[in-house]
Amino acid sequence: MISKIDNTTAIIVTYNSGKVIDRCLDGLINIKKIIVDNSKDLNLKKHLKEKYKNITIIHPNHNIGFGSANNLGISTAETKYILLLNPDIIFNERQIDNLIKIFDLYENVGIVAPKVYDHNNQYLDNHCYSALKKTKRSNNLNNIHNIIKKTEPNGNLCADVVTGAIFLSKKEILNKIGLFDQNIFLYYEDQDLCKRLRDKKYQIIECANSYAKHPNNDINRSVILNNLTNFNQSKHHKYSEYYFKSKYSSKSILIFQSLIEFFEYFLRMLLNFFLFKKNKIIINFARCIGILKFIFKF
């Protein structure tokens, strides 16, 4: 009989992740691992091949984005279970059993995620509302939600969405719903995947007795992003937000909303130009480009 670890493949999408990925892989010694490296770092490939066993490294021809890279890894995997995680997640493979048990405990489970904590062992919000619901909430309700969702649940929790930082699913289920939407380059892939799972009546569950650490927030705060990275992240985030919502909402209404937001960001960009705030100029300009990309499909 195949053990649960032997029947699971960990898939990690990387992009210039050489400084953090070792801590991730150190907890995944025996499990099969597929690394899809969008940065085509040959030195990282050599290092990982020498240090870790059961590892396959895939270099796409170019940076194909987070969702498409995960799809490539899922298509390559030959196991029943798929563990998707970010390269800066710290997780012990011995906890996979607890995640898999959830599939037997409840009916129609599509995704199971562990609880996630930061570097200070503070509970993080690995689960959240659908972004489609956020648009219907008042600011006051959003503020209340932000307080409530930081409370750590005592048991297993059924969620609208779990973030793409780490979760377990079955290859069969992911194939059935069509994998990740390849039109989303970065951001909102997890929102879209969970939406399609819920539409097919699958449950999304955060497991109470499985744990992961995600110290990326403190790492990111200590690093000032370069201008190009800042621009690309802001552009992709805004485009993906509107693209995702357009799949399940009235596109004409969204275009109207996006135009209002475009002029808001444009005015912010001008204001920050006169205030000499370069970083905010870049962010607001990138958001404008993301909105225009959504409207005009370029």
Per-residue pLDDT tens digits for 179-209: 999 999 999 999 999 999 999 999 999 999 9
The CA distance from 65 to 77, in Å, is 19
Res. 220: pLDDT tops 90 = no
Structure confidence at residue 148 (pLDDT): 45
- Lowest-pLDDT range of 27-41, 128-142, 160-174: 128-142
Structure confidence at residue 298 (pLDDT): 67
Structure confidence at residue 126 (pLDDT): 75
Res. 73: pLDDT tops 90 = yes
* Helices 227-248, 251-274: crossing angle, 10 deg rounding: 160
Res. 271: pLDDT tops 50 = yes
Q: Which residue has the higher pLDDT, 7 or 1?
A: 7
The CA distance from 187 to 232, in Å, is 11
Report angle CA 103, 160, 195 to the nearest 5 degrees.
Answer: 90
- In one-letter notation, the amino acid at residue 278 is K
Structure tokens at 23: 């801590």
Per-residue pLDDT tens digits for 234-261: 999 999 999 999 999 998 999 999 999 9
Structure confidence at residue 134 (pLDDT): 57
Instruction: Provide the 3-class DSSP secondary structure of residue 283.
Output: helix
In angstroms, what CA-CA distances link 103 with 11, 52, 70, 132, 255? 19, 29, 22, 27, 40
Q: Which residue has the higher pLDDT, 217 or 294?
A: 294
> Which residues have C-beta within 8 Å of that of residue 119, sequence separation ≥ 6?
213, 215, 218
Structure confidence at residue 1 (pLDDT): 57
Res. 97: pLDDT tops 80 = yes
Structure confidence at residue 2 (pLDDT): 66
Can you tell me the mean pLDDT for 63-85? 98
In angstroms, what CA-CA distances link 19 with 44, 62, 216, 217? 10, 21, 12, 15
- What dihedral angle (degrees, nearest 10) is formed by the CA atoms of 42, 61, 10, 12? 70
- Determine if residue 29 is left, alpha or beta; phi over 0 gives left, psi from -120 to 50 gives alpha, anything else beta: alpha
What is the rounded average pLDDT for all residues in the chain? 91
- Lowest-pLDDT range of 81-95, 105-119, 124-138, 184-198: 124-138
Structure confidence at residue 152 (pLDDT): 83
pLDDT band at residue 132 using 50, 70 and 90 as cut-offs:
confident
Give me the CATH topology for the region 8-219: Spore Coat Polysaccharide Biosynthesis Protein SpsA; Chain A (3.90.550)
- Lowest-pLDDT range of 6-10, 123-127, 137-141: 137-141
Whether 189 and 138 have beta carbons less than 8 Å apart is answered as no
pTM above 0.85, yes or no: yes
Looking from the CA of 295 toward its CB, the CA atoms found within 13 Å total 17
pLDDT band at residue 6 using 50, 70 and 90 as cut-offs:
very high
Structure confidence at residue 209 (pLDDT): 95
Q: Which residue has the higher pLDDT, 138 or 232?
A: 232
Count the Cβ atoms, other than its own, within 10 Å of residue 160: 16
Instruction: Provide the 3-class DSSP secondary structure of residue 199.
Output: helix
Q: Where are the beta strands (DSSP E) in the chain?
A: 8-14, 32-37, 55-58, 81-85, 109-117, 127-128, 157-158, 161-162, 166-170, 203-213
Does an H or E element contain 52, and which?
Answer: none
The CA distance from 51 to 237, in Å, is 35
Structure confidence at residue 125 (pLDDT): 77
pLDDT band at residue 276 using 50, 70 and 90 as cut-offs:
very high
- Lowest-pLDDT range of 95-109, 137-151, 203-217: 137-151
The CA distance from 63 to 263, in Å, is 31
Q: Are strands 203-213 and 157-158 parallel, antiparallel or unpaired?
A: antiparallel
Per-residue pLDDT tens digits for 40-72: 999 999 999 999 999 999 999 999 999 999 999
